[in-house]
A = this chain, B = another copy of it.
Amino acid sequence: MKDNTPLAWAVRNISELFIGRRGPAAGREMGEAPVVRDAVVLIRDGIIEASGAADVVAIPDEYDVVDAEGGCVVPGLVDCHTHTVFAGSREAEFVQRCEGRSYAQIAESGGGIKMTVKSVRNASVEDLVESALPRLRRMLEAGTTTAEIKSGYGLTPDDEIKMLHAVHRLAKRQPMELIGTYLAAHTVPGEFAGRPNEYLDLVLDPAVLKRITDNGLAEFADVFCERTAFDVDASRRFLTVCREHGLIPRLHADQITQCGASRLAAELGAASADHLECIDDDGIAAMRSAGTVAVLLPACSFFLGVEQAPARRLIDAGLAVALATDLNPGSSLIESMPLVMSIACTQMHMTPTEALIASTANSAAAIRRSDRLGALLPGMQADLLILDVPNHLQWAYHVGRNCVRTVIKRGNIVHPG
């Protein structure tokens, strides 16, 4: 019952059903996710038809049935911030960091993102697709059913579009749902050093943006907003022009320094502001007013061995916090969303319930998919996982172990496949 999963079927013998919620949970709501014991889920045409307690939701006789064997069932995870399409390996830099050099020092000495840009420029679309496929396979097996993937290692119009074409092809070549983000403003490429606005002229050319939107290659635009990359004015310009072409703004904000990036996110009505290690009270207040999702990337801080974002402070202030892997070869070579949840619990004092809401309902909100992703309620997409543990609390607790037994995407069993 995998590729040929019938149109109408049920999952039964669920010890705990983590229903989640439709739309983002903010602040304390994040810890109050509804669960149902001894539950069933009905699925029809790839959509949740019903979900609830086994003595309330009856399974029609003609439905095929999958036995969860007393496992917990949760919504498929949404990894809302990744750089999964890349080329090359940067383990030498990882070693240098172990030896005590900082990310900034490595970048100054010619390492860092420039190496990946060089590799990606030399790669074909098919090279990028082939190298990303095993990553996506492992992400799926660990429970990610939807992932956003950014460009940002091409840094020429053609190379950025090449990356987005790779995302587009990947979406057709494997079961995970993928969303493209145009991150041409990831860093100022060497050939435009000191001239960020001339570089932006290039990547904001209406003809370039038209190639992206006409082909549905991206839904979001993203910028690395730092004085050393694109300052607030340059970031505002990039995102505003992109928004005029239909791309929804998101930002890499307040990661290394505080320069007002999270306030800019609120000002522009961005779907999310991501990183936020250096967010200040003004940024928090602005994001709360604007309803901007705060995407935290604990795997990145873990990988770099630096301070985590103040998750507790953001939640206590009433923000909707989401989690993502930030998967990339330089600062977060971590593919597993469950490992990210464990890092959030152990290093940031998020609870397992908050971490799971942050990886489902709230990360779905960060990519504007709250209408159909992030919860197991009637009418929503049937993206769900059967775990081999009896409750969702045990998932983050089993650090580094894959507790996912079965992955269901749009009502189809896609793993084990």
Question: Distance in Å from the Cβ of A92 to the closest Cβ of chain B?
Answer: 7
Which stretch of A51-59, A359-367, A389-397 is in the interface? A389-397
Instruction: Give the interface size class of chain A.
Output: 35 or more
Asked if A398 and B333 sit within 8 Å, CB to CB, the answer is yes
Taking each of A90, A94, A303, A333, which has the highest tally of chain B beta carbons within 10 Å of its own beta carbon?
A94
A399 partner residues in chain B, CB cutoff 8 A: 299, 302-303, 333-334, 339
A198 contacts B by Cβ under 8 Å:
no
Q: How far is the CA of A333 from the CA of B94 in the complex (A)?
A: 26
Asked if B98 and A345 sit within 8 Å, CB to CB, the answer is yes
A336 contacts B by Cβ under 8 Å:
yes
Contacts A91-B393, A336-B400, A398-B333; A305 near B351 (Cβ below 8 A): no
Q: How far is the CA of A117 from the CA of B40 in the complex (A)?
A: 35
A99 partner residues in chain B, CB cutoff 8 A: 349, 351
Asked if A92 and B393 sit within 8 Å, CB to CB, the answer is yes
Question: Distance in Å from the Cβ of A207 to the closest Cβ of chain B?
Answer: 39
Q: Which of A71-130 contact B (CB under 8 A)?
A: 89-92, 94-95, 98-100
Partner of A401, one of B302, B335, B349, B351: B335
Contacts A398-B333, A401-B335; A349 near B138 (Cβ below 8 A): no
A289 contacts B by Cβ under 8 Å:
no
Q: How far is the CA of A401 from the CA of B393 in the complex (A)?
A: 22
Copies of this chain, whole number:
2
Taking each of A303, A346, A394, which has the highest tally of chain B beta carbons within 10 Å of its own beta carbon?
A346
Asked if A397 and B334 sit within 8 Å, CB to CB, the answer is no
Partner of A94, one of B90, B299, B302, B397: B397
A352 contacts B by Cβ under 8 Å:
yes
A304 contacts B by Cβ under 8 Å:
yes
A302 partner residues in chain B, CB cutoff 8 A: 346-347, 399
Question: Distance in Å from the Cβ of A196 to the closest Cβ of chain B?
Answer: 31
Q: How far is the CA of A391 from the CA of B94 in the complex (A)?
A: 13
A350 contacts B by Cβ under 8 Å:
yes
Question: Distance in Å from the Cβ of A336 to the closest Cβ of chain B?
Answer: 5
A90 partner residues in chain B, CB cutoff 8 A: 397
Question: Distance in Å from the Cβ of A96 to the closest Cβ of chain B?
Answer: 9
Q: How far is the CA of A304 from the CA of B394 in the complex (A)?
A: 15
Q: Mark A280-322, 1 if CB is under 8 A from B, else 0.
A: 0000000000000000000100111100000000000000000
Asked if B393 and A304 sit within 8 Å, CB to CB, the answer is no
Q: How far is the CA of A91 from the CA of B342 in the complex (A)?
A: 12
Contacts A98-B345, A302-B346, A336-B400; A394 near B352 (Cβ below 8 A): no
Asked if B336 and A401 sit within 8 Å, CB to CB, the answer is yes
Contacts A336-B401, A346-B302; A391 near B98 (Cβ below 8 A): no
A304 partner residues in chain B, CB cutoff 8 A: 346
Q: Mark A176-200, 1 if CB is under 8 A from B, else 0.
A: 0000000000000000000000000
A336 partner residues in chain B, CB cutoff 8 A: 400-401
Question: Distance in Å from the Cβ of A106 to the closest Cβ of chain B?
Answer: 14
A299 partner residues in chain B, CB cutoff 8 A: 399
A98 partner residues in chain B, CB cutoff 8 A: 345-346, 349-352
Q: Which residue of chain B has the shortest Cβ distance to A329 in the bound complex?
A: B397
Question: Distance in Å from the Cβ of A53 to the closest Cβ of chain B?
Answer: 22
Q: How far is the CA of A347 from the CA of B97 in the complex (A)?
A: 11
Q: How far is the CA of A397 from the CA of B351 in the complex (A)?
A: 27
Q: Name 16 interchain pairs, CB-CB below 8 A, sorted by A.
A: A89-B397, A91-B352, A91-B391, A91-B393, A94-B345, A94-B393, A94-B397, A95-B393, A98-B349, A98-B351, A138-B401, A333-B397, A333-B399, A334-B400, A336-B400, A400-B400
Q: Which of A's residues lie within 8 Å of B, judged by CB?
A: 89-92, 94-95, 98-100, 138, 299, 302-305, 333-336, 339, 345-347, 349-352, 391, 393-394, 396-401
Extra 4 A-B pairs, beta carbons < 8 Å, given A89-B397, A98-B349, A302-B347: A91-B391, A303-B346, A333-B399, A334-B399
